[in-house]
Amino acid sequence: MDVLTFIAAIVKALAWPVAAIVIAVLFRKQLRALLERIRKGKIGPAEFDFEQEVKELVEQAPAPLQLPTPAATPTVSLATNNPRAAILEAWLRVEGSAHRLSYYSRLTPPSLPRNTTNILRSIAKNDLVSSEDIALFNDLRGLRDQAVHDMEFRPSPDSAIQYVQLADGLQDRLNRAAEIANNSSKADASGAA
């Protein structure tokens, strides 16, 4: 092989990789924006779907969230060690608060089976919490479903912590609404007596 043939073979072999690098450098801002919009995918243990959803919910949150230290709460500590368990634990607390609100608002008697979908529908119908909280409840439930049903689900600890924070904020608002409903029913009972 002569020198010119060798150089031509090298140029031919490197043409596409060099072109790809040049395109990536020229369009790096557009590529970065495109990659941020990807809804679902995996690279190793990273999952884009859950991470992106949580990021969007945090951006829509009424107040900016601050990540506490891992030892701040048991659930946050759990999120760093077992993100899936922390998500499920946070969801159970939100669901319990929704059931408590429904009970104190006299929407469902305690003898009926707990059906979260019907309870949420009743809470929304009676305007016991804001429409933003109803939407957040549904979004958190969808993310919880992913944690429950996707066997390969492995969120980052940070996104699990953010999920827990969103759930804790919603739980707090549901608990406050339940307390108001409970005080109102107590006042109605004492006024009737």
Domain ranges of the chain: 1-37, 39-192
User: Is the pLDDT reported for residue 63 higher than 80?
Assistant: no
Q: Is the model more confident about 97 or about 188?
A: 97
List strand residue ranges (DSSP E) for 32-181, in order: 42-43, 46-47
Q: 39: pLDDT confidence band, cut at 50, 70 and 90?
A: very low
Which class does domain 39-192 fall in?
mainly alpha
Distance of CA 86 to the CA centre of its chain: 12
173 contacts: CB under 8 Å, gap ≥ 6: 129, 130, 133
With 0-12 / 13-18 / 19 or more C-beta atoms within 10 angstroms meaning exposed / middle / buried, residue 91 is: buried
Q: Could you tell me if 98 and 174 are in contact, meaning their C-beta atoms sit under 8 angstroms apart?
A: yes
User: Is the pLDDT reported for residue 193 higher than 60?
Assistant: no
Quickly list DSSP for 75-90: HHHHHHH-HHHHHHHH
Whole-model pTM over 0.75: no
